[in-house]
Amino acid sequence: MDARREDRATPGPPVFGPEGARVPTWLDHVAALGWRLLATGALVAVVLYIAGLLATITVSLIVVGIILATVAPLVTGLRARGWSRGRSAAAGWAAGMSGIVVLGLVAVIAVIPAAVGLLQSIAAGIQAAQDHLTGAQLSPEAADALAKLAVALKDWVATNVAEIAGSISFLVTVGVLTFFLTLFAMLDADRAVDWILQAADDDQRATLVASGRQAVDRVGAFVRGTAVVAGARAVATLAILWGLSVPDAAPLAAIVFLGTFVPFIGVVVTTGAVVAAAMSAGGLQTALVVLGLVVLTYVAAEILLRPWARARLAALDPVAVIIALPVGGAVAGVLGLLLAIPVALAVAAVAGAAIRTLGSGAPGAEGSFVPLWLDRLGQWSWRLLVGIVLGLAAIWVVLLVPYIVLPLVLAAVFAATLAPLVRRLAARGWGATASALVATAAAVVVSVVVIGLTIGALVDQASQIVSTAVGGADQVDAAMGGLAAALAAAVQSAGETVTISLDDVGREVVGLLVAVVLSVLLCFFLLRDGARTWHGLSGRLVPWRREQADAAAAKAVNVLGGYMIATGVISAFGAVTQWAIMFVLGLPLALPLAVLSFFGGFIPYIGSFITTGIALLVTIAVGSPTDILVMVVFTVVFNIVQGNIVAPLVYGRAVNIHPAIVLMAIPAGGAIGGVLGMFLVVPIIGVVATTWRTVLRVFGDPPPGGDPRELEADPVPEPGHPVDLPGGVGAEATASG
């Protein structure tokens, strides 16, 4: 009795939160934990949403990472033998691309052409199995469940086959990006990691680098081990089906190979597909024989290939596998199922190191209840969310009112491009208004010529270009025995996009002309008064922040103007050269194709590759063998010289960004802003890459001791000289009274 009284007298945990607030401690802790988890979860959701919008880039980067992890032992071994970085990277790239090419050929030759017939065979097999089981006098509930299962299976197969067949252009785009990005990644992946981790200290960097290597090892082991097991299972399935005279043996074997990369689910689904096809072809007895042999080969592969089989999922818990697969399937369908496990392996390897880097085990801001790593993660998450939402809101506003934003963007581009001309005229004694007026008149003349050529030569003949190019692609496909069917589909898809865009231009010609007129007017005022307006805005900042803002603005204008001038010269040279060759050869559509090539030149690397390829396909469709040979030589030489000599030299000096960033930026710009987004994304990224450090200093802490000279800053023009901004002449005129 005394003990019970003593227990009741012992005070329990505090009911209210800190400082006597009328909030229970448990609720205070829940809130402290909850907002951090909510912020982190919201950031993850936003990142996944953006990754879905930029699916081409996301999938390409994942595939590149998988290729790097798969061939990493080869590249490391070659470097250990004394091979240079370039030679070993080239060897690894060749090995990785060989595997991708083999998979692509299997899909193009075996799977895609037989997709419809294979689907019908599987559906017939499912129906036959349903009929057999229905005749077995099952209970009404079991029969109803079986019918629903059969319908669900047929719908799932039909949906995913249609999804694969309808995404040829997407897969081609991913393949092209992967082709180039893999080589860049092999050459510069370690440098990219060093740049990303430059703000981390030595211990944090060592922890994260070690986890990255572990992720590479795990993903590489999974892919290599699964490839060996999948190859053995596919060969055994092919032999079984051929031996029993089951049709579509090669497509079914290819599906078995791919399904092996999806643990648990893939084996069940592919086995069901094989058995259903056997049921459709030979009846129940054949299906049972196939089922027994397939199961036997699966077991034999797991036993005989035990080292490779164990290497596949040794580092991933089965529960994580079961969670990752439906998530991947929900996000990206069949492709998500194939990529889910490599992504899960990489995330599992890096997550622990990231937690340790953020401060595992140390108490956070809420005392010992919230760990330091979660506190820091939550603090970072909500701030990043604010920045991302702000950026998305800005993009949304731009897309919502294009006829207001477009003139501003075009005016800024024109003004930055014409600023050197304005400065030269000012140096010769011209006034601010006169020099700005002359430069604007030059912009008007160029714009009228370009728009006139576009409307007169391209809009009316766009459909003819597309149909002729598709005809050339069909001829290439026929000459290759059906191996280039994806080329014709990709050309058709890209041509439809271009035609729709040009039709929109034709329908909105009045709105376009209004936007151009507004751009010209704004360009004039920016050239004349831009610097004065800018300094009126930046003058509200404290002196050291104003100095950094002026430096960033000057660099942005120089980069934007230099990029547009250099790109215009390259594009004009390529377009004129292509027109001259096609004109001399007597080929049709020379002028509209030249105009298309001029615009394509403003999309680095990819634009010229596509437009010269379209010109080549047109030549194949209508030209003689000599014409085709000349255009093949021109296309190859032009793209090699431009892509490897001219473009890196020009873009490197103008925007100073890595070619891999350019390649990823172009589809991102297209996904966000269409054709205009692809035109503007590279100079915008160039401006960001040149000025981001300076802009961060504008938002950062004041320099030590209050002396801005102690802070490393970008060069700023001396006092009394015009800042290199649009309207620098206006600033000079203002300074001179």
Please determine, for residue 703, whether its predicted confidence score (pLDDT) is greater than 80: no
> How many other C-beta atoms lie within 10 A of the C-beta of residue 518?
17
Please determine, for residue 636, whether its predicted confidence score (pLDDT) is greater than 80: yes
Average pLDDT value for residue range 38-52: 90
Spatial separation of the C-alpha atoms in residues 489 and 81, rounded to whole Å: 44
* Angle between helix 402-427 and helix 659-699 axes, rounded to 10 deg: 80
Q: What percent of the chain has pLDDT over 70?
A: 72
pLDDT at 167: 61
In the chain, what is the greatest distance between 2 CA atoms, to the nearest angstrom? 112
pLDDT at 722: 37
Q: DSSP assignment of 91-131, as one string?
A: HHHHHHHHHHHHHHHHIIIIISTTHHHHHHHHHHHHHHHHH
At 115, the pLDDT band (50, 70, 90 cuts) reads low
C-beta of residue 528 within 8 angstroms of C-beta of residue 430 = no
Please determine, for residue 730, whether its predicted confidence score (pLDDT) is greater than 50: no
**Secondary structure class of 8 (helix, strand, coil):** helix
Spatial separation of the C-alpha atoms in residues 605 and 616, rounded to whole Å: 17
The domain spans of the chain are 53-366, 404-464+504-729
Please determine, for residue 729, whether its predicted confidence score (pLDDT) is greater than 50: no
pLDDT at 99: 82
C-beta of residue 324 within 8 angstroms of C-beta of residue 339 = no
Residue 458: φ, ψ to 5°: -110, -45
pLDDT at 714: 41
C-beta of residue 583 within 8 angstroms of C-beta of residue 430 = no
Average pLDDT value for residue range 352-360: 80
> How many other C-beta atoms lie within 10 A of the C-beta of residue 705?
9
pLDDT at 385: 92
Please determine, for residue 681, whether its predicted confidence score (pLDDT) is greater than 80: yes
pLDDT at 9: 45
Q: Which of 157-161, 355-359, 482-486, 655-659 has the highest mean pLDDT?
A: 355-359
Q: Tokens for 346, please give them.
A: 């990489």
Q: What percent of the chain has pLDDT over 90?
A: 3
Please determine, for residue 367, whether its predicted confidence score (pLDDT) is greater than 60: no
Average pLDDT value for residue range 718-736: 38
At 458, the pLDDT band (50, 70, 90 cuts) reads low
Please determine, for residue 22, whether its predicted confidence score (pLDDT) is greater than 80: no
Give the CA-trace dihedral at 181, 185, 186, 188, to 10 degrees: 130
C-beta of residue 177 within 8 angstroms of C-beta of residue 667 = yes
At 133, the pLDDT band (50, 70, 90 cuts) reads low
Q: Which of 62-71, 392-401, 540-549 has the highest mean pLDDT?
A: 62-71
Chain centroid, CA 236 distance in Å: 37
Give the closest residue to 122 by CA, choosing from 243, 271, 295, 233.
271
Average pLDDT value for residue range 212-240: 88
Summarize pLDDT for 274-305 with one digit per residue, the tens: 888 888 777 778 888 888 888 888 888 878 87
Pairing of strands 363-364, 367-371: antiparallel
Spatial separation of the C-alpha atoms in residues 126 and 327, rounded to whole Å: 27
Please determine, for residue 82, whether its predicted confidence score (pLDDT) is greater than 50: yes
Per DSSP, helices labelled H in 107-201 are: 115-134, 140-165, 168-196
**Rg of the Cα trace of the chain?**
31
Average pLDDT value for residue range 329-354: 83
Please determine, for residue 49, whether its predicted confidence score (pLDDT) is greater than 80: yes
Lowest-confidence segment of 152-156, 467-471, 624-628, 662-666 by average pLDDT: 152-156
Question: DSSP class of residue 454?
Answer: I
Average pLDDT, whole number, for the chain?
76
Lowest-confidence segment of 130-144, 449-463, 468-482, 561-575 by average pLDDT: 130-144
Summarize pLDDT for 609-631 with one digit per residue, the tens: 888 888 888 888 888 888 888 88
pLDDT at 381: 93
Sign of the dihedral defined by the CA atoms of residues 120, 124, 126, 130, in that order: positive
Per DSSP, helices labelled H in 314-431 are: 318-359, 372-400, 402-427
Please determine, for residue 499, whether its predicted confidence score (pLDDT) is greater than 70: no
At 464, the pLDDT band (50, 70, 90 cuts) reads confident
At 246, the pLDDT band (50, 70, 90 cuts) reads confident
